[in-house]
Amino acid sequence: MSRILSGIQPSGELHIGNYLGAVKNWVELQKKYECIYFIADYHAITGSYEPADLRRRTRQMAVSLLASGLDPAKSTLFVQSMVPEHTELTWIFSSVTPLGELERQTQYKDKSQRQESVSAGLLMYPVLQAADVLLYRADLIPVGEDQVQHLELAREVARRWNAKFHSDFFPEPKPLLTATRRIMGLDGQAKMSKSLGNTIGLLESPEEVWAKLRPAMTDPARVRRTDPGTPEICNIYHLHKAFNDEATVEHVAVQCRTAGWGCLDCKKVLLEGMMRELTPIRERACELEARPGLVTDALAAGAAHAGEIARSTMATVRDTMGLR
Ligand code: TRP
Ligand code: SF4
């Protein structure tokens, strides 16, 4: 059976962009594969941050993931720093990673340009990611388009390590691109992201979601209620596609083009569809908040299982490299 692995940054509560773009797919994959998922807290320390805030965001992410349907009975879920072998393998891989490749990574170039002081950790970020993947010798890595370059680097690290030590121990991991197109923020201008403040949280109440949907950008051609619109250019329409069935989506398109509905009518139907999917998730999250031991236990069990695989990989790696 193929082994799936992916990680997510500890950004706190999930928003519907992360959920539709990644986590919903992770939940599906549990049915068919052996899955290993983790919260990438070692990746979250390369810039400035508050320790208490990081711990809170990590915890909230764990709650969001479990509430979304990641099932500790089916998959392995843990926090990256609970398995310190990730960092040991990072150091080892740093010796087979060409510096030039790291300096060419798009994410590094973007982020380093925006900071006045750049840590070596920011440059090493993709090496840590290669270690995450190869530590478990995973085959398939569900990621978004923006992580493909990092994964290409992980493949190169695997090839170089294998070649240097005359081994075929590390398989080359393949990206598994998620079918969902990227979810735009409520402004309809940029990708949904916490830093832009254009998100809908996965655990928000219907009232909170409505307060955000109501003023959200639609087709600017619909100035008056009687002006027809073009659904394809409207972000609300794309959200309908994510939360409603095909027949409803088709109905929305017709009502928009013929000005049968106003945008508020359209948004009310969207709210209903969203809440059908999100209410059970919010309820599960409430249960988990009330019983924090469940979260702690799930993460501990996940880390114990991940740790076994990680220690076995590191034993082979050290042995092959003449360490100890
Ligand atoms: N860098 C990834 C992101 O920001 C998160 C991540 C860390 C990851 N390690 C990983 C994803 C390993 C896949 C595999 O989205
Ligand atoms: Fe967008 Fe719906 Fe308004 Fe059409 S009717 S512009 S799809 S909100």
CATH code where residue 235 lies: 1.10.240.10
- Same domain flag for 281 and 296: no
The residue whose CA has the least distance to atom 6 of ligand 2 is 219
Question: What pLDDT score does 248 carry?
Answer: 97
Q: Which atom of ligand 2 is nearest to the CA of 240?
A: 7
Q: Is 143 in the pocket of ligand 1 (CB under 6 A)?
A: yes
The residue whose CA has the least distance to atom 4 of ligand 2 is 256
Q: Is 157 in the pocket of ligand 1 (CB under 6 A)?
A: no
Question: What pLDDT score does 23 carry?
Answer: 97
Residue 192, domain member (yes or no) = no
Q: What is the spatial distance between Cα 229 and Cα 234, in angstroms, rounded to a whole number?
A: 9
Q: Is 9 in the pocket of ligand 1 (CB under 6 A)?
A: yes
Question: What pLDDT score does 61 carry?
Answer: 98
Residue environment code for 10-29, b if the CB has 16+ CB neighbours within 10 A, otherwise e: bbbbbbbbbbbbbbbbbbeb
pLDDT string in tens for the chain (324-residue length): 899 999 999 999 999 999 999 999 999 999 999 999 999 999 999 999 999 999 999 999 999 999 999 999 999 999 999 999 999 999 999 999 999 999 999 999 999 999 889 999 999 999 999 999 999 999 999 999 999 999 999 999 999 999 999 999 999 999 999 877 788 999 888 999 988 999 999 999 999 999 999 999 999 999 999 999 999 999 999 999 999 999 999 999 999 999 999 999 999 999 999 999 999 999 999 999 999 999 999 999 999 999 999 999 999 999 999 998
Q: Which atom of ligand 2 is nearest to the CA of 263?
A: 3
Q: How far is the CA of 105 from the centre of ligand 1 (A)?
A: 14
Q: How far is the CA of 193 from the centre of ligand 1 (A)?
A: 16
Q: What is the spatial distance between Cα 283 and Cα 249, in angstroms, rounded to a whole number?
A: 27
Q: Is 133 in the pocket of ligand 1 (CB under 6 A)?
A: yes
Q: Residue 266 carries which DSSP code?
A: H
Q: Is 132 in the pocket of ligand 1 (CB under 6 A)?
A: yes
Q: How far is the CA of 250 from the centre of ligand 2 (A)?
A: 12
Residue 220, domain member (yes or no) = yes
- Same domain flag for 140 and 248: no
- Same domain flag for 208 and 242: yes
Q: What is the spatial distance between Cα 4 and Cα 138, in angstroms, rounded to a whole number?
A: 6
The residue whose CA has the least distance to atom 3 of ligand 1 is 8
Question: What pLDDT score does 246 carry?
Answer: 97
Q: What is the spatial distance between Cα 257 and Cα 242, in angstroms, rounded to a whole number?
A: 20
Q: How far is the CA of 207 from the centre of ligand 2 (A)?
A: 20
- Same domain flag for 143 and 237: no
Q: Residue 276 carries which DSSP code?
A: H
Question: What pLDDT score does 250 carry?
Answer: 98
Residue 208, domain member (yes or no) = yes
Q: How far is the CA of 248 from the centre of ligand 2 (A)?
A: 13
Residue 133, domain member (yes or no) = yes
Q: Is 237 in the pocket of ligand 2 (CB under 6 A)?
A: yes
- Same domain flag for 37 and 167: yes
Residue 160, both tokens: 């170089």
Residue 189, domain member (yes or no) = no
**Beta strand ranges found along the chain (DSSP E):** 3-8, 34-39, 76-79, 140-143, 174-177
Residue 149, domain member (yes or no) = yes
Residue 196, domain member (yes or no) = no
- Same domain flag for 161 and 308: yes
Pocket test for ligand 2, best of 187, 210, 217, 237 (most atoms within 8 A of CB): 237
Ligand nearest to the CA of 128: 1
Quote the number of domains for the chain.
Answer: 2
- Same domain flag for 16 and 110: yes
Range of the domain at 232: 203-285
- Same domain flag for 232 and 213: yes
- Same domain flag for 174 and 112: yes
Q: How far is the CA of 247 from the centre of ligand 1 (A)?
A: 36
Q: How far is the CA of 274 from the centre of ligand 2 (A)?
A: 16
- Same domain flag for 215 and 175: no
Positions marked active-site: 111, 191, 194
Q: Is 219 in the pocket of ligand 2 (CB under 6 A)?
A: yes
CA angle 41, 4, 308 (to 5 degrees): 65
Q: Which atom of ligand 1 is nearest to the CA of 144?
A: 15
- Same domain flag for 113 and 250: no
Question: What pLDDT score does 93 carry?
Answer: 98
Looking up residue 158, the CATH number of its domain turns out to be 3.40.50.620
Q: Is 6 in the pocket of ligand 1 (CB under 6 A)?
A: yes
Cα dihedral across residues 37, 42, 45, 51: positive or negative: positive
- Same domain flag for 49 and 152: yes
Residue 213, domain member (yes or no) = yes
